[in-house]
Chain A
């Protein structure tokens, strides 16, 4: 009869509340992992897991990750779109665990798109 123990959850709440109060609410960056059938089959879930891991390690509070469907370029999956506030969005393709971690450090934390992995820079935003 395993259930999530509420005591554990309470501890997390108290700990996170302190940091949560400091957040200003706005997100600086949004990363969309394309998670259509093609993306998942090509390894999009591991890309998402790597991103969640990097976000937790870097302790950044203003970066959100989300998923979307097929972007129409199934052959280049796994793909992500990185949107940084006030900058053109960048689509990356043919990703691996290593590449997405580079992108996280250089683009999301450093603000500099990783051109060698980029498919497209510019076009649509979802802000």
Chain B
């Protein structure tokens, strides 16, 4: 994976497979604390204790019953975090959902760039119009949020994955990111 937005897409796809109806994606960039946090939480089927222990093992997958033997998504994210002097944590409860957090040292030379997060989010929304997404991005004291439940309410019977709506969401995120870019360089 080239950047964190691809890892986020990959982990969020697990949430989709877990039958989540709401998926929350949070990114926090705190320059003073020199930390970048990524958090993906869902209300999907969750995992029991053994599964949580096993998911960081590259040879474990929840899809064993379908004949597949490896699941590399979480191990790859864990590796990316470790390379930037960070770590990951997984909290999950059967029937309640899963939260995965990854922490990175912000200025670490091996910390992967965030990448095209607007693309990741809009692809998730357009491929899964039945799922609600809450996206939060914090850069120091600046805060951005998209909640598809609010957008849906406003759209009434226009589908959330209509190309015009998707473009609107994408442009809005990109604009905020470019507006706040300068505070990341201080």
Contact = CB atoms under 8 A, between A and B. Distances in A.
Contacts of A36: 10, 13
Given A9-B154, A16-B162, A41 B6 contact: yes
B141 to A, nearest CB: 10
Contacts, number: 100
| Interface of A (DSSP majority class) | helix
Contacts of A22: none
Nearest to B123: A48
B154 A40 contact: no
A4 B9 contact: no
Contact of A12 (B13, B122, B146, B168): B168
A49 B166 CA distance: 11
A10 to B, nearest CB: 7
Interface size class on chain A is 20 to 34
Interface in A14-63: 15-17, 20, 33, 35-38, 40-41, 45, 48-49, 52, 55-56
A17 B179 CA distance: 31
Nearest to A38: B72
Interface size class on chain B is 35 or more
B157 A9 contact: no
Given A12-B168, A16-B164, A35-B9, A40 B1 contact: yes
Contact of A37 (B73, B163, B165): B73
13 contacts: A1-B142, A3-B145, A4-B172, A6-B154, A9-B151, A20-B162, A35-B10, A37-B73, A40-B9, A48-B127, A56-B167, A65-B127, A66-B128
Interface of B: 1, 6, 9-10, 13, 16-17, 63, 67-68, 71-73, 76, 119-120, 122-123, 126-128, 142-146, 150-151, 154-159, 162-169, 172, 175-176, 179
